[in-house]
Structures are given as C-alpha cells and as structure tokens.
C-alpha cells in the first residue's frame, strides 16, 4: 500500500511536469496530494458518479473524464503546494495521471 502511494506520487510529479497547468512544489506536496486524491476519489467521486449517472450514460461515459478532472482540482484545494489551473488542464491531467499510474502499477505488480 505504501509502495502504491509512492508510485502515485511519482505519477503525479510526472503529470505536473508534462501538463502546463499543474504545479507541485516538491515530493512532499506530491505525497500529500496523492493521499488527498485517493480519499477524494474513494468518497466524493463515487457520489458524483452516482448523481451524474444519467448524464454519464447519455455521454457514453465521457463525462467521467470531467468528473476525474474536478476531483483533481478538488484535491488541489486541500493541499498546499499543489495547484491545478484551468478545467482543461485538470481533465487532461487526470487522463495522463491515470495512464502513468497504470503503467507504474503494472511494472511493480507481481
């Protein structure tokens, strides 16, 4: 679990390096941001997906990308040293973050 937390922090740092509108002040901020992002995704994202289910079905689940971007911006509100500027940066950043996290997790899984 700690390894996954560190890997998500590294993925967040890589995402901040790639995406123009996402800024992280350092590795400690990335650790905090990945922890808060995990909690936000576990609790609030589930509720958002439930309440926006008709819209999500209508858009063939493409609205999930918007929800993921909103969760990234919401995590940035709670973590000092982590900033997300703009909705487009948040949406693209959440997609890039998911891809990087997936690859880092598959490399380290047994």
Name the pLDDT band for 110 (thresholds 50, 70, 90).
low
Q: What is the pTM of this model?
A: 0.88
- For the segment 24-44, what is each residue's pLDDT rounded down to a tens digit? 999 999 999 999 999 999 999
Say what the pLDDT of residue 1 is.
84
| 3-state class percentages of the chain: helix first, strand second, coil last, to nearest 5 | 80, 5, 15
Instruction: Supply the range of the domain harboring residue 100.
Output: 2-108
**Mean pLDDT score of the chain:** 93
Report the candidate in 94, 104, 97, 110 with the shortest Cα–Cα distance to residue 4.
104
Number of domains forming the structure of the chain: 1
- For the segment 80-91, what is each residue's pLDDT rounded down to a tens digit? 999 999 999 999
């Amino acid at each position: 679990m700690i390894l996954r937390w560190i890997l998500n922090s590294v993925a967040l740092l890589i995402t901040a390096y790639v995406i123009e509108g996402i800024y992280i002040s350092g590795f400690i901020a990335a650790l905090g941001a990945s922890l808060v992002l995990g909690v936000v995704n576990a609790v609030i994202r589930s509720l958002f997906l439930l309440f926006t289910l008709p819209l999500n079905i209508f858009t063939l689940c493409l609205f999930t990308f918007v929800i993921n971007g909103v969760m990234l911006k919401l995590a940035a509100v709670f973590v000092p040293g982590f900033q997300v500027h703009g909705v487009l940066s948040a949406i693209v950043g959440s997609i890039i973050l998911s891809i990087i996290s997936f690859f880092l997790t598959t490399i380290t899984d047994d």
